[in-house]
Structure 1
């Protein structure tokens, strides 16, 4: 950590030595902009800028500001062999802050900060790393093959495979240690999991590609799910982490991965339903999209029944056939009902809006008992202040805001359903 915290807001000098704010700022860079990540398939990838991608998040390594202090023209190289994820870490720069010339300022320990997060045994010499690239020819995916599919791209058809693995497979623990580093770069508030807990399930995507007349595999992404206990004798898997690496995004891999994990979990008769842990907005759209696609084929969700409101049959069929819990089934119903609603018809759209708001209003109804408790313990003048947050106007404004947020999200899901 540097001694400078970036808190100066003018061009004044520091310690009377004439060190200006501008000079200090010339040694500051955004970590997101200087970390080059590669998934290396062949040696030519090392010098190919098209194979480079960068992290979306760096605060778990470099702090909330996501800044690095102490270098000019900094480039951090974090390279992985495409399949096995053998790792290379190094950095270069044109100038480093000098404590003697720059009033004791210390540069951030960039490599140390990253090295503390990645497993030991990584390469720091590019020649040593290059020696591992040909060894990718012997790499095979871990686990049991569950699903394979193709994607048509400008470069031709590409083949992908999804596997289910566990920590009993030789080499998988070490592979997962390298793989989970991507969580810190691409999942907000992401954290490493306890791999010694046998209740974790791992689903992995690999691309199967041709190289030198043979097939090799590249790591694409993965999903983890934890099997919680559900009373009295069932399991409730909770999806925790879902990540498709940037070079493979926008090709529908998230859908394939989630559907494959769903199918595998549903085959277990002990599974009651499948939940999700703190989903991001992006994953929420993915989940809603997949669940809507799956529910569309259920009789209870047929278009002619959607206008009659959410029913017990919908909840039951979603749970029994797809392991979708009642809360999520209601959400799917609202999206599919919107699809069947003519929003240009004021009366029809009003019915839809009121139906959604009845659900959104449920938490507010619980406030009535809370308000009665306040009346008993607060003085009249204190009660007036406290009641401002519970006014009819505030409640209506919050309900409308929540409805509009849901409507925007639902429309995005329906746009994707229309394309599908």
Structure 2
């Protein structure tokens, strides 16, 4: 931190951070790349004197981003217990989003957010994205794929993969990372479909996307082996790669496939529950 007042203030906040933020540790206040944002409320005492009441705070770290930009990462955020569930956490996150935009940083991230913070962040970002003009055509195009009718199980599902131009536009203007945008994208699509008509296809699309993410890449790697081949040329550059058909070398058995399918189904169910919950919260605001 650049000023002594901020360092002294944070020294008083450390016990609260350690007590109320899971897995937290004190930040290095001598590092000028740390920034402290404090949320206070003005109150009047019986004599009419104004005094501030501390509601919460956030600690951010500013990383260098080549060649001439920076990235903001939220490391600690806390609303004190008496003031929680009153909208102050949302307000603080919205302020930080505005800081990231006004300072034109590369992007704004959160360090290992807990589920409640991730849910709040996603609600805020989905609302921002719904009002972001440059991606509306892409969202409408994705939604239209579901409205055309039943999707085939034999095809990939582009509706749940936004175009690269949309990803970059969101990062540049809203400072939302690609990972977070993809997390919000399925919710944006869900908000545009009619669940009673298109839910089966939507579930199929989510399942297909998660299968590719969680099973597809790992299954491609399993069963591959590299074997050195004797040669008079260059020993370090002489090898053969092949896919083994022996169960002992890593090829999936029927039992392992069944376990994967069971795990995938649970993950899909959890993801669908999250999508519905966020969509409900966003629609109710």
TM over 0.5: yes
Using the alignment, how far apart are the partners of 1:206 and 1:353 within structure 2? 44
1:326 aligns with 2:178: yes
Residue aligned with 1:324, SS: coil
Report the equivalent of 2:69. Answer: 234
For the residue of structure 1 that corresponds to 2:195, the secondary structure is coil
Instruction: Name the structure 1 match of 2:252.
Output: 387
Partner of 2:140: 304
Q: 2:269 pairs with 397, 404, 408, which one?
A: 404
Using the alignment, how far apart are the partners of 2:259 and 2:225 within structure 1?
18
- Deviation digits for residues 204-238 of structure 1 (CA, Å, limit 9, x no counterpart): 10011111211111111111121223344332211
**What does 1:29-68 align with in structure 2 at a 5 Å threshold?**
none
Task: Name the SS of the counterpart of 2:3 in structure 1.
Answer: coil
CA distance in 1: counterparts of 2:38 and 2:254, whole angstroms = 47
CA contact (8 A) 2:225 2:244 kept: yes
Q: Name the CA shift for 1:339/1:296 in 2 (closer, same or farther; >3 Å).
A: same
TM-score for the superposition, normalised by structure 1 = 0.55
TM-score with structure 2 length normalisation?
0.78
Structure 1 CA distance for aligned equivalents of residues 6 and 58 of structure 2: 14
Change (3 A) 1:275 1:168: closer
> Kindly tell me: are residues 261 and 390 of structure 1, through their superposed partners in 2, closer, same or farther at Cα, counting changes over 3 Å?
farther
Distance 1:301 1:183 in 2: 40
Could you give the per-residue CA deviations for residues 235-270 of structure 1, whole angstroms, max 9, x where no partner exists?
22111111111100111111110111111121223x
1:208 corresponds, among 42, 46, 64, to 42
Structure scoring higher RCO (CA < 8 A, sep ≥ 6) equals 2
**Contact 1:301 1:314 (8 Å CA) reproduced:** no
**Contact 1:306/1:336 (8 A) holds in 2:** no
Partner of 2:117: 283
Q: Is the 8 A contact 2:207 2:268 kept in 1?
A: yes
Distance 2:214 2:66 in 1: 25
Cross-structure match for 2:235: none
Q: CA deviation at 1:169?
A: 3.2
CA distance in 1, matches of 2:13, 2:39: 12
Structure 2 residue 200 is the aligned partner of structure 1 residue 365: no
> How far did residue 314 of structure 1 move?
2.6
Conserved 8 A contact 1:301-1:333: no
1:274–1:359 Cα change, 3 Å: farther
User: Which residue pairs with 2:30 in the alignment?
Assistant: 196
Alignment of 1:80-91 (within 5 A): none
Q: Which 4+ runs in 1 deviate beyond 4 A?
A: 374-381
Q: Which residue of 2 aligns with 1:117?
A: none
Name stretches of at least 5 consecutive residues in structure 1 with no aligned partner.
Answer: 1-166
Q: Per residue, is there more helix in 1 or in 2?
A: 2
Shift of 1:380: 4.6
Structure 1 residues 172 and 229: alpha-carbon distance in aligned structure 2, compared to 1, 3 A threshold = closer
> Is 1:252 aligned to 2:87, yes or no?
yes
State the 1:419 CA deviation: 2.5
Alpha-carbon distance in structure 2 between the residues aligned to 1:403 and 1:296 = 24
| Root-mean-square deviation over aligned CA pairs | 2.6
Aligned to 2:55: 220
Quick check: which has more Rg, 1 or 2? 1
- Point out the more displaced range, 372-381 or 350-359: 372-381
- Partners of 1:325 and 1:313 in 2: CA distance: 13
